[in-house]
């Protein structure tokens, strides 16, 4: 029973062997594989640019380009009133921001305080894995939430 928890199932093992040794040029499925791989990678690049561009357009948010991983990790400057509201609830300020974002939009991000960020700085991690079709809605929700949050907690 313990091995079920420690090992991937048979289908997962077969899939990983295909991932590790994809079709090669000359194989019957190579053209389709290349087309699908290139489409996926192009979409990921577009989504990465879309989320980083959105984040960098927000007041008090700064985000480097996403390179390598499928995450963006912006820094966020939170107004003192937001920091105080978080502390009054016994929450770290970036956790407070992330929970409010989730409650108001359904967009789930991970607070940077869970990653050992520098004291006095705030971050969150987000992914750009949702479907490209969903991204405009996600970006719009994030933007509207952030603008309202900043307005609510600005001095």
pLDDT in tens, 18-51: 778 889 999 999 999 999 999 999 999 999 999 9
- Go through the chain and tell me how many residues it has: 155
Question: Phi and psi (nearest 5°) for 3?
Answer: -65, -25
Determine the Cα–Cα distance for residues 42 and 54; give it in Å rounded to an integer.
18
94-128 confidence digits (pLDDT tens): 999 999 999 999 999 999 988 888 888 999 999 99
Pairing mode, if any, of strands 110-111 and 124-127?
antiparallel
Q: What integer pLDDT is reported at residue 2 of this predicted model?
A: 47
Residue owning tokens 């970006």: 139
- The enclosing H or E element of 60 equals none
Determine the Cα–Cα distance for residues 152 and 155; give it in Å rounded to an integer.
9
Strand partners, 75: 62, 123
For 26-48, b where at least 16 C-beta lie within 10 A, e where not — what string? eeeeeeebeeeeeeeeeeeeebb
- Percent residues over pLDDT 90 in the chain: 77
- The enclosing H or E element of 5 equals helix 2-6
pTM (predicted TM-score): 0.83
Q: Give Cα 97 to chain centroid, integer Å.
A: 15
């Amino acid at each position: 029973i313990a091995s079920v928890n420690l090992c991937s199932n048979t289908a997962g093992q077969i899939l990983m062997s295909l991932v590790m040794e994809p079709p090669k040029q000359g194989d019957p499925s190579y053209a389709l594989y290349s087309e699908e791989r290139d489409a996926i990678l192009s979409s990921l690049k577009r989504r990465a640019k879309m989320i980083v561009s959105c984040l960098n357009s927000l007041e008090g948010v700064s985000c480097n380009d996403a390179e390598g991983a499928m995450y963006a990790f912006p820094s966020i400057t939170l107004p003192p009133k937001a920091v105080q509201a978080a502390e009054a609830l016994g929450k770290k300020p970036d956790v407070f921001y992330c929970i409010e974002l989730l409650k108001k939009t359904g967009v789930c991000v991970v607070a940077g305080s869970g990653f050992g960020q520098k004291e006095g700085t705030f971050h969150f991690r987000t992914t750009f894995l949702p479907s490209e079709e969903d991204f405009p809605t996600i970006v719009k929700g994030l933007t509207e939430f952030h603008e309202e949050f900043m307005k609510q907690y600005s001095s």
